[in-house]
Structure 1
Amino acid sequence: MKDDQKNFLLFAVIAALLLFAWPAITGWFFPTANPPATQVKGGETKVVPNPGADPAADTPKAIRDRKQVLAETPRIAIETPTVRGSLNLKGARIDDLVLIKHKETIAKDSAPIRLLSPSGTRDAYFAGFGWSGQGLNAPGPDTVWQASGSKLTPTTPVTLTTTVGAQRFAIELSVDDGYMFTVRQKVANLGQQAISAAGYGYLYRYGPGKDHDSMTIHAGPVVSTDGTVNYSTNYDEVAEPGAETRFTAKGGWIGYTDIYWLTALIPDQGMAVDMQFRPRGGLASQAQFEPDSARQVGPGQVVTQTSRFFAGAKDINLLDDYEEQDGIRAFSRAIDWGWFEIFEKPIFHYLHWLFRMIGNFGVAIIALTLTVRLLLFPIAQRQFASMASMRALQPKMKALQERYKDDKPRQQQEIMKLYKDEKVNPLAGCLPTLLQIPILYALYKVLMLSIEMRHQPFILWIKDLSAPDPLHILNGFGLIDFTPPAFLAIGVLPILLGISMWAQFKLNPAPMDEVQKQMFAIMPWVLMFVMAPFAAGLQIYWITSNLLTIAQQKFLYSRHPALREPVPASGAVIDAKPTKGKKS
């Protein structure tokens, strides 16, 4: 009895630590969800501003007014179905870009996501291209280029030209319907002496991004070499004075990733290049590439170098297309899928297909849950047959526990022998749960990573399935002007999750061990707190799964009625064969 009390006390302490330490744990290992998109106040659902956003570009925190900075230099417009912005002719920089298909908030009048900003503004973030080499008079950051047109669109490419000394330089720019710019750099030697020239690209970013880098989801500097992607570099490392992080590759790319957005410099995939991150003072850093050797340019000769620049949303299908059709190695892995990509991408594609068929991501998640439960149903049948066999063995196991209560090693040995003699696998009942774990984790990553899930509504108050449930019980479902702390922000969905899990446990045969009984009694409510900060879509999956499991259990209890009968006393004579041998 004392051992049972000690075990229960230990479990209670672990549960309390898990509950109160959960925000800190998930902050590093498992980021819980996106920031809330809505908040319920006074019984009304209101859009929550994005605290990290700079939608109007001109905030009190801005270094300088962005409109003023943009007006100070000559520019040509950039317009595609996915982006709007402008190209700075001074320094030939792509430094003004917003993503018109993605908003800062779910409000109808919300500003689009701003990705790139010019130097001198808050969160400066821009790309440029240039040359280095011996005997070369290269254009600099103050060089003003001449443009062949006034607007860069998918159907109207633009060529920038300038002449410095005895060399003429050109940058031919084109853009597709997605987020990919193609950059052809040319240098013509007009002089009488041979020169060497190497075209390079750079990507400047001031400060870390607004997304949190974690153990399972990378946000920060990212580089791909030899078909692999390095997620281990962080902003502190690349911004540290004197630090230079170098990579060599033939085929690869380098840039910065947020959870949903990516900028990447992509050299010619057949060219050997040096890539590196360099500190640029303060919180700023720069990603860049250049060929591992310069090319000789004789008098009257012209050399050309082609690279690409991606700046946009990490649309999964679009990244896959760039990798497969354009040959950009490992480009799809700009999304940090992790070790379970083999589960995650099929679940995403199936979920996205369901969404296209149904039109609502929440209903698509419910349909996905139903599919998973149907696939696991044969295994669940075997699980219940195993549970019936285990229940039939309970009196014999209890007798062995009493007989060898002072000799624990012998007790375990005899119990294992009993399992072997009766041909019962005590772990068989765990298989459906174990199979659910990678599926649950895969859905978690899909909800956290896929831009397709961002700001997707369900029904009623659920306006964003990738954010937590905003309808909290502790503030009277929004009627009280009080915002509970994160670890007490219990919404309706977490409550339904706890209730459904409690109902599921109540249907299971009661364990004979008192500590296990107490654990099963507390576990649903601990998980209610643990799951509250996670995405609403993940909670909908789990609630639906629990409800389907309850229906499944009721059906299977009708196939295995012995599971409903009280466990005979340890001294009673029982016949386990009919239950154990019963076909599912």
Structure 2
Amino acid sequence: MDDKRNIIMAVLLTGIILFGWPMLMEQFFPDMANKNEIVEQADVPATDQVPGESMTPVVGSDTGSSDISTGAVSDKIRPLATILRENPRVLIDTPRLQGSINLKGGRIDDLTLTDHTVDMSKDSASVRLFSPSGTQDAYFSRFGWAGGGVAVPDDNTIWSTDQSKLTPETPVTLSWSNETGQTYAIKLSIDTDYLITAEQNVTNRGENAIALKPYGLINRKRDLNNIPANEASTWTIHSGPVGVYEGAANYDVDYENLAGEEPGFFSRMFGTSAVAGTNAYDTEVSWLGFTDKYWLGALIPDNISQVDAKFRSGGGDIFQAEIAKKSAQIIEPGKQLSTTTRLFAGAKENAILERYESEYNIKNLDRAIDWGWFYWFEKPLFYLLNWLFQLVGNFGVAIILMTFVVRGIMFPIAQKQFKSMAQMRAVQPKMKALQEKFKDDKQQQQQEIMKLYKDEKVNPLAGCLPIFLQIPIFFALYKVLMLSIEMRHQPFILWIKDLSAPDPLTPVNLFGLLPFDPPTFLAVGILPILMGITMHFQFKLNPAPMDPMQKQIFSIMPWILVFIMAPFAAGLQLYWTVSNILTIAQQSWLYSRHPQMKEMMAKEAEEKAKKAAADKAGA
């Protein structure tokens, strides 16, 4: 009766995992399944007032006000090419960035990353990071001044320029003068990677002193109902507002928080502290902006102790990151005020983030990559994997070599595990006798088995240590593969064209020969199937559990894991498969060095065969 109940429980558990797991994956891993207002901060304008298109937040220009109004809002979206032709522009031309600066408003609103494509097709377009207002995913940055009683440039200002193209060799200076004698200038410089430096200068040639606050902002349109699955924020990978305050990375602010929506379950569980509508910081702000899984737009102040920062929502799908001087700067007649701010706009390549961090003393810029809890372990693993890739030129081969390294380091622990397994096998006949003797008294049975463990100096949990050690390795590799752009679009062999994506071939549709895509929970690729097969044979080498329920669970676990692992990155599946193969080889070698264990395994196999024959005959 107990055996039947255990079988029913095992079947129910399997069904729950097979059918419930895809829903959990879509909810929490969509990328694989597919303070109050700033004290005394002068508010900064944040939109073009163009009738008939979606407005970005408008912040009152009067000093001390922080009200946001959206103006007339329309859902009209216009073609990118049309918008780019509407106003005069300065081209941006670097080895890794292409685009332009809109001279109306002085917006950096047109940037593509030439080294990265949207997909792996031959004619794939380059990834677009910044887009002008009026497009589906408007995303831009600009720099300016706020103050009362003096005319300052705004979103409708047409700037003059001294160059027609911004390159690493030719900086561009934008300039504009008002009617009361103030001249504003923004000198933009760019390097060969992803860093733009903005030097803001204002010269007061008027008769009176003026008070101004320089600022920088990044504005982004984000439709929370239509965020692509591979760009959505999850409890393992943050996407959205991000920054470093007082030397620590902060991933607590989400678009939903700023929009005033209820935070999700995991946000509440892990202590999200964001305030709906606005989040302000008047401590040391190293940088802040918006992150996607692979891309980052971030403002980096030159003097982190002299700025305030804020995330805010303008209502609907508009969000903004701002930095500004803590207090207005007084500029006497004939004097000049200068401020420097940097803008990172590009791919989150670890080496570049670390170089900028060191070169410009930007604290924790590398934390733009959400390494998570195992940062201390993931970075060395990333360094090893990337070094192996540079050595062999193939990330799949690099993963295999890394698996050899990891298993080599864990070899002494595996030997201890083997010793524990050997001891467990040696005492199994005595355990069976105790189970048979005390089959009607489970409590006495457990006491006698524990006494047997103590007398024979056997630790039944010792064999679990390598499994527990594998957990941080597995999770770290998952984060490395899912977050590191260095792994993006990296092929292995044959059908594996992207190790950061799931295995695309599945026997369910005859490996693509049948013209349909199977549901997520059935789209099991070749690599996860190989992983399940190798895990099955690995379990065969382990001591059989005495408890029937445990035995049944261990027998179906490899096949359950096949479905669980199917939506994960192929690189992760490759690691686990190779690790299983190495474990089988290692255990076989260790068994060969202990003939008594080999004889015991042969005896167990013989007894199992006899029992199976007897059961068959009885049936």
TM-score where L is the length of structure 1: 0.89
Structure 2 letter corresponding to 1:313: A
Residue pairs, 1:136-535, within 5 angstroms: 136-164=150-178, 165-208=180-223, 209-210=227-228, 211-240=231-260, 243-535=277-569
From 83, 88, 91, the counterpart of 2:97? 83
Report sequence identity in percent: 56
Kept in 2, the 8 Å contact 1:509–1:563? The answer is: no
CA distance in 2, matches of 1:444, 1:151: 42
Counterpart Cα distance in 2 of 1:539 and 1:239: 38
Distance 1:154 1:526 in 2: 54
Asked which structure has the greater RCO (Cα within 8 Å, sep 6+), the reply is 1
CA distance in structure 2 between the partners assigned to 1:365 and 1:82 by the alignment? 28
1:544 aligns with 2:564: no
The answer to whether structure 1 residue 112 and structure 2 residue 132 are counterparts is: no
Deviations 1:493-536 (CA, angstroms, capped at 9, x unpaired) = 12111111112122323333322222222111111111111111
Distance 2:540 2:305 in 1: 64
* Equivalent position amino acid for 2:26 in 1: G
- Cα RMSD of the aligned pairs, angstroms, is 2.0
Q: 2:24 is matched with which residue?
A: 25
Report how far residue 30 of structure 1 moved: 4.1
Residue deviations 1:164-202 (CA, integer Å, cap 9, x gap)? 132111101101111111111111111121111110111
- State how far apart, in whole Å, the 2-side matches of 1:297 and 1:469 are: 62
Give 1:478 deviation, angstroms.
1.0
CA deviations on 1:72-129 (whole Å, 9 max, x unpaired) are 1111110111110001111010000000000011112211001111111221111111
Deviations 1:368-416 (A, max 9, x none): 1111111111211111111111122223333433444454444434333
- Partner-residue secondary structure (3-state), 2:509: coil
- Alpha-carbon displacement from aligned partner over 1:49-69 (angstroms, at most 9, x marks no partner): xxxxxxxxxxxx981111111
- For residue 449 of structure 1, what is the amino acid of its counterpart? L
Offset at residue 9 of structure 1 (A): 2.6
Give the Cα–Cα distance (whole angstroms) in 2 for the partners of residues 76 and 219 of structure 1.
30
Counterpart residue identity of residue 140, structure 2 = F
- Hey, what does 1:102 align to over in structure 2? 116
- Residues 95 and 32 of structure 1: is their aligned pair in 2 closer, same or farther, counting only changes over 3 Å? closer
Query: Are the aligned partners of 2:31 and 2:232 in contact in 1 as well (CA < 8 Å)?
Result: no
Distance in 1, Cα, partners of 2:582 & 2:313: 54
Distance 2:376 2:278 in 1: 34
CA contact (8 A) 2:422 2:597 kept: yes
Q: Cα deviation per residue 1:260-302 (whole Å; 9 max; x = unaligned)? A: 0010111124333221122223211111111221111111110
Quote how far apart the aligned CAs of 1:456 are: 0.5
Q: Give 3-state SS (helix, strand or coil) of 1:271's partner.
A: helix
CA distance in 1, matches of 2:458, 2:348: 49
Q: Structure 2: how far apart are the matches of 1:175 and 1:152?
A: 7
Quickly say closer, same or farther: Cα 1:74–1:384, change in 2 above 3 A: same
Q: 315-324 vs 348-357, which deviates more?
A: 315-324
- Residue 7 (structure 1) aligned with residue 21 (structure 2): no
CA distance in 1, matches of 2:101, 2:596: 75
Q: In the alignment, residue 133 of structure 2 is paired with which amino acid? A: S
| Secondary structure of 1:252's aligned partner | strand
Q: Which moved more, 1:130-139 or 1:434-443?
A: 130-139
Structure 1: state its 5+ residue gaps. Answer: 36-60, 570-584
- Tell me how far 1:350 sits from its aligned partner: 0.5
Aligned residues of 1:265 and 1:310 also touching (Cα < 8 A)? yes
1-structure distance, mates of 2:439, 2:339: 79
Which AA in structure 1 matches 2:185?
A
Distance 2:312 2:496 in 1: 43
Match of 1:557 in 2: 591
CA distance in structure 2 between the aligned counterparts of 1:429 and 1:27, rounded to whole angstroms: 34
SS in 2 for 1:246: strand
Which consecutive unaligned segments of at least 5 residues does structure 2 have?
Answer: 35-74, 262-275, 605-619
Measure how far apart 1:342 and its partner are.
Answer: 1.4
SS of alignment partner, residue 186 of structure 1: strand
* Cα distance in 2 for residues equivalent to 1:285 and 1:156: 32
Residue 129 of structure 1 aligns with which residue?
143
Cα distance in 2 for residues equivalent to 1:23 and 1:190: 66
Residue number among 45, 60, 82 corresponding to 1:68 in the alignment: 82
Residue type of the partner of 1:33?
Answer: M
Is residue 286–residue 304 contact of structure 2 (8 Å, CA) maintained in 1?
A: no
Task: Determine the C-alpha separation between the residues in 1 that align with 2:417 and 2:305.
Answer: 56
Which amino acid in 1 is paired with 2:203? A
Structure 2 CA distance, aligned partners of 1:20 and 1:261? 33
What code does the residue aligned with 1:441 have?
F
Alpha-carbon deviations, 1:442-495, whole Å to 9, x = none? 111111000011100111111111111111111111111111011100111121
1:325: Cα distance to partner?
A: 2.1
